[in-house]
Structure 1
Amino acid sequence: MPQSERMQQLAPVLAWIDSHRDAALTHLQQFCRQPSVAAQNWGMEEMAKMVEASLSELGAATQIIATEGYPVVVGQLAGDSARRLAIYNHYDVQPPEPLDAWSFPPFDATIHDGYLYARGVADNKGNLVARLWAARAWREVYGSLPCHVTFLFEGEEEIGSPHLGSFAAANRDLINADACLWETGYRDAEGALGIYAGVKGILYIELRTRGTAYDLHSSNAPLAPNAVWRLIAALNALRDAEGNILIPHFYDDVKAPSERERELLARFPVNVEAYQKSWESAILPGPSGSQTTPTERLLYAPTCNICGIWGGYSGSGSKTVIPAIAGVKIDFRLVPDQDPQKILGHLRRYLTERGFDDVEVIELEGTEYPGQSPIDTPLLEALVRSARTIYGIEPHVQVRTAGTGPMEALSQRYGIPAIGGAGVGHSESRTHAPNENIRVDDYILNIKHVAALLAEFAAM
C-alpha cells in the first residue's frame, strides 16, 4: 500500500484516539494506582489480573502462564496481513522508596500541570497501556488490526526477569513473530524519540567481608581487622581512578563500533548539557588519552558500578566500633559479546590471585546477556517512519540503549529481531526515582505512534 493510502487509512484511527483521550488517560491512572512491586511481592496477583482483563476487553485471546515467579500474561489478536508482531512489556514496577522524596503519593497517579506522577508510569505501565489503546483504536475503527499482534507482558523485569528465559523456551509457538516491539522509549530534551536495536547485559553481584566475630570497641583498631577497610581494599582493586576496570580479560570480548555504527554515534550524540542540567552535576571525563565521545562511552563501554555499600554504624550521633562485616552491591553493565558467566569467573579468579580469597562473591538474581538486533531490520524502519509521521521530528537511532532487559532471552536467542523506542517517557521522567512522571500529551502521542507503527509494519 502506498504511503498516501496508509495515511488515509490511519487518519480516522488518529481521530478516534483524540476523541477518547480522557478514557485512555483514566485507564492508565487505574493501572498506576494498583501497586505491583515485584521485589516486595506487593500487588502482583492483582496487577496480573488487571492486565488480563484489559486484554480480554480488547478482544484478545488471553492466557496467564505461570512461571516459578510471577506469571506472564499473553494476549493474541489476529490481523489483516500475514505479518506477526510481538509486543513485550512488563507490569511490575520498582519499589517507591524513599517515600518522603515524592511530591505526590507514588500510587495516586496525580495529574498536575500536564504531568502524570506515579511509580511505574514511565517504566513501564504508560507504554503498556498506550499499546493496548493503539490496538483498540484500530479495532474500533476497522474491526481488526493491520497485522497479527501477540502481547507478552511479564511481571519480573524489575528483578532481572529470572524466569522469562524458561518461559520463552517452553512457549516457542507463542513468542514466534517476525519482530518484537520492545518495552521502553523516551523523548530527549529536544523532543526527539530515541530508537534502538539492542540492550546491554548485566551481572549483579554482592561482595561481603568479615573481620571479627562481632563488632569491637574501636580502641582495638591497632590489632583487630576492620571489615569495611578490607572491603574498600577489594573495591580499589576492581577499578582505577579513571574508571578503567582492572579485572584481567574483562575487555577481551568487547566489540568496537562498526563504521555504520560510528556514523550513528556522530549523527545522534547524547545531549551532554541536558544531562548535566538534569543531574546538577558535570559528566565524568573519559580515560586520559582516550578519543571516545560521551555517546560511545555510554553505549559501548562496559561498567563496574557500586549500587550500595554498608558496614558498621551510620546512625545519628557516634558509636565507636570496628565493623565485623561489610558488603557492597555491584552491577556490571556488559556489551556484546561479553558473557556474564565468564566475567564472574574472571572476577573470582582475580580476587583470589590478588589475595582477596576471603572476600565472598555472591551472584544475585538478574543476570542477563547483552541483546543486539541488526539496525537495518524492517521494524526499525517502520518505527522511524511512523515516528516522523506522529512527532514531526527526526527520531534518533542508535545501535543500543545503555539500559538492560531480557531481549536476548525472549527474542534474539530465537532469531527474532527486537527494536525499542515507542514510549511515553521524556528526558526528565525520573525513572526508578521519586517523582517518576510522564507528560500527558506524550502519552497520547505514543498511542498514535504505535497505531501508525502497526500500519507501517503490516505494509512492509
Structure 2
Amino acid sequence: MTTYRQIDSYLEKNLDQNLEELKRYVAQPSISAQNIGLGECAQIVKEMLEKRGFTAMIKSTAGAPVVFGERKGKSDKTLLIYNHYDVQPPEPLELWESPPFIPEIRDGKMYGRGVSDDKSHLTSRLFALDAILDEDGELPCNVKFIVEGEEETSSVHLHDFVRENMDLLKADACIWEFGGVDHREVPMQYLGLRGICYVELSVESLGTDVHSGLGGSIFPNAAWRLVWALNSLKGKDERILIPGFYDGIIPPTERELELMKKLPDVADEYKNRFGVKEFIKGIKGGNELKIEEVFTPTCTICGLNSGYQGPGSKTVQPARASAKVDFRLVPAQMPEEIVKKLRAHLDAQGFSDIKIDFLGGEPAARTNPDDPFIKLIVDTAADIYDAPMELVPTVGGSGPNYPFVHDLNLPVATMGLGHPDTRAHAPNENIRLDLYLKHAKHMARVVKEFAK
C-alpha cells in the first residue's frame, strides 16, 4: 500500500480547523420530521462541496432537496458517496447537557444533534479529500456525492430521485453514510440493511372527547378500539398475524450465516447497555440472538396517543386514538405490499374504521460480502485500526440502500466513526474525535487505492 505519512500529517495538523466546519454544519437545525432548516442546510452542503472544487447543485424533489456534487479525477473510476443532512428532532431538550444545536467539545467528544447521524461522516470524508488534494493537487478518481434531506423520515422521495437520475449517479462503487467500531473497538463492515414500512394507525369514534361518566358505558371508546386492533397484529409468541406477511421472504445464505457465527455474542453487552433483563422468544444469546436480531421481520409499536396524559386525573372518554407502528422487513418484503396486507387484515378482523397513513418505507438490500470493493475497504482499514475489520451481513436498522444496490447495481460499503455510546436519535448525541480522525485517514486510503 502507498505510504500515507504526508496525508496523515495533514489530517492531524488541520483537525481543529476542520472541526470548526463541522460545528457550523451541526449548528444549522435540519429536522426533516418537522420541516425545519432543510433548505438552509442543503445550501451549507453545497458550499462545502464547492469549496473543494466540486461542481455542486441543489436538486428539488417533492420533499426536501437533494445535493449532488461531482469532481473529476485522474482515473475514470467513479466513487459515489451517500450521506444525509437531515437530523432527528432534539426532544426531550431537558436531557441535553448542552444545547443540541450549539455543538460543544468536551472530554474528547463533540456533542450536538446530528453530529454523529450523519453530519460528521460527511465532513470527515471531505477532510480526507482535502488531504489528498493538498498532497496531489487532484483527486485520483472521480468522486460524486449525493446528500439527501429525508433519511430520518424514510427517504420518501429518494428512490424516485435515483431512478430519474441514473446517468448522473452512475458509478463503480458506493460508500454509505455510516459505520464505526463496536464495543470491543473493532471496526465493523455492515453489508446490508433491513427494510422498513412505517405507518400511523388512527381511529375517531366520537366528534369530541366526552365525560367518561356520561359515555363510558354507552359510547365507543377510540382508545379501546385501537388497542383491540393492535392486539390483532401480533400474538404473545411474537409471531405477526397478518396473513401472507412472511410469504416469499428470502432466508440468509450459508455464507451470511457463516459470517454471523464469527461475530461476538452481544447478549451481555445489550443487557449492560440497555438494561435488558431478558430477550423475547426465550432467546438466551449466542448465535440465535445474532440471527434473530437482523434476519427476522418485526412489528413494533413505536408510540401511542389518546386521551389525557397529564399529571393527576381527568375522567374523559377519548374521541381519537393513534399509534405509530413500524415493520422491519427482510429481502423480498416490499413496503407497499405490507400496507395492502395490513389493510386486508384489519378489514377482515372488523377494523375497517382504523385508518392507515403510510409514512414511508424502503425494501431491504444487501451487498455480496465477497465483492472486491468490500475487500478494499477491509484491507485499507488494517492500516488504521488495532483490530481487523469484521464483516456483518446485515443490521437491524433500515436505510435507502435498495435503489443503490438494485437500480444502480453498486456494491455498497459502510465505514465511519460511530461508537456504541454515540447516542444517535437520543439526547447528548456525540462523536469521538479520535474516531473522526481515524475515519478521515481510512477514507483517504480508500479513495487512493480505489483509483488503482
Task: Please tell me whether residue 280 in structure 1 is matched to residue 275 in structure 2.
Answer: yes
| Structure 1 position 16, deviation (Å) | 1.2
Question: In the alignment, is the contact (CA less than 8 A) between 1:86 and 1:175 conserved in 2?
Answer: yes
2:170 corresponds in structure 1 to: 176
Displacement of 1:202: 0.9
1:288 shift after superposition: 7.5
Answer with 444-453 or 143-152: which moved more: 143-152
Shift of 1:321: 1.5
CA distance in 2, matches of 1:227, 1:28: 47
How far apart, in 1, do the equivalents of 2:294 and 2:48 lie?
36
Judge conservation of contact 2:283–2:289 (CA < 8 Å) in 1: no
The aligned residue for residue 456 of structure 1 is 449
The percent of aligned pairs where both chains have the same amino acid is: 41
Query: CA shift at 1:246, angstroms?
Result: 1.1
Of residues 287, 295, 310 in structure 2, which corresponds to 1:315?
310
Question: Who is 1:95 aligned against?
Answer: 89
Structure 2: gaps spanning 5 or more residues: none
- Cα distance in 2 between the residues matched to 1:22 and 1:453: 23
AA in 2 matched with 1:361: I
Supply the RMSD in Å over aligned alpha carbons: 1.8
The structural deviation recorded for 1:332 is 0.5
- What residue in structure 1 maps to residue 420 of structure 2? 427
Label 1:256 to 1:56 Cα distance change in 2 as closer, same or farther (>3 A): same
**Distance in 2 (alpha carbons) for counterparts of 1:350 and 1:386:** 50
Is 1:76 aligned with 2:62?
A: no
* Maintained 8 Å contact 2:366/2:405: no
Q: In the superposition, relative to structure 1, how do residues 291 and 49 fare at CA in structure 2: closer, same or farther (>3 Å)?
A: closer
The separation in 2 between residues aligned to 1:455 and 1:293, in whole angstroms, is 39
Q: Note if contact 2:265-2:285 (Cα within 8 Å) is conserved in structure 1.
A: no
Aligned residue number for residue 205 of structure 1: 199
After superposition, the C-alpha distances for 1:392-413 in whole angstroms (9 at most, x for unaligned) are 2122211122111111124422
* Counterpart in the other structure of 1:447: 440
SS of residue matched to 2:281? coil
Q: Is the 8 A contact 2:267 2:284 kept in 1?
A: no
Distance 2:36 2:200 in 1: 24
Deviation at 1:113, TM superposition (A): 0.7
Query: Do the aligned partners of 1:85 and 1:178 also contact (CA within 8 Å) in 2?
Result: yes
8 Å Cα contact 1:242-1:288 kept in structure 2: no
1:167: which partner in 2?
Answer: 161
Deviation larger for 110-119 or 349-358: 349-358
Does residue 155 in structure 1 map to residue 155 in structure 2?
A: no
Note the alpha carbon deviations across 1:274-298, whole angstroms, 9 max, x for none.
Answer: 2222212235233579996111111
Verify the 8 A CA contact 1:242 1:287 in the aligned structure 2: no
**Relative to structure 1, is the Cα distance of residues 442 and 292 closer, same or farther in structure 2, using a 3 angstrom cutoff?**
closer
Aligned match of 2:47 in 47, 50, 53? 53
Q: Is the 8 A contact 2:163 2:407 kept in 1?
A: no
* 1:239-288 CA-partner distances (Å, limit 9, x unpaired): 12232211111111222221111111100145222222221223523357
Given that 1:201 and 1:370 are in contact with CA atoms closer than 8 Å, whether structure 2 keeps it comes out as: yes
* Larger deviation, residues 424-433 vs 144-153: 144-153
SS across alignment from 1:106 = coil
Partner of 2:36: 42
In the other structure, the counterpart of 1:234 is 229
Name the SS of the counterpart of 1:225 in structure 2.
Answer: coil
Equivalent residue of 1:136, what SS?
helix
| 1:11-50 correspondence to structure 2 within 5 Å | 11-50=5-44
The alignment's TM-score, normalised by the length of structure 1, stands at 0.94
Structure 1 letter corresponding to 2:48: S
The aligned counterpart of 2:366 is 372
Which of the numbers 301, 304, 317 marks the counterpart of 1:306?
301
Counterpart residue number, 2:289: 294
Give the deviation of 1:140 after TM superposition. Answer: 0.7
Q: Distance in 2 between matches of 1:36 and 1:290?
A: 38
CA positional deviation for 1:124: 0.2
- Of 126, 139, 142, which residue of structure 2 is paired with 1:145? 139
The one-letter amino acid paired with 2:302 is C
Distance 1:29 1:386, change over 3 A: same
Q: Which of 107, 123, 129 is equivalent to 1:135? A: 129
Specify which of 402, 407, 431 is matched with residue 401 of structure 2.
407
Task: Find the residue that maps to 2:168 and give its secondary structure.
Answer: helix
Please tell me whether the aligned partners of residues 77 and 148 of structure 1 are also in contact (alpha carbons under 8 angstroms).
Answer: yes
> Could you tell me which of 378, 381, 399 is aligned with 1:384?
378
Distance 1:371-1:288 versus aligned 2 partners, 3 A rule: closer
Aligned with 2:399: secondary structure? coil
Counterpart CA distance in 2 for 1:285 and 1:396 is 27
Q: Distance in 2 between matches of 1:335 and 1:288?
A: 20
In 2, the alpha carbon distance for the partners of 1:43 and 1:347 equals 34
Q: Which runs of 5+ in 1 are unaligned?
A: none
Measure how far apart 1:234 and its partner are.
1.0
What SS class does the counterpart of residue 280 from structure 2 fall into? coil
Q: Which amino acid aligns with 2:388?
A: E
- Matched residues in 1 for 2:386 and 2:164: separation? 42
> What SS does the aligned partner of 1:351 have?
helix
Corresponding position of 1:115: 109
Equivalent position SS for 2:30: coil
Pick which of 164-173 and 121-130 moved more: 164-173
Per-residue deviation, 1:347: 1.1
Amino acid at match of 1:336: P
Counterpart pick for 1:193 among 187, 190, 194: 187
2:100 is aligned, of 106, 129, 149, to: 106
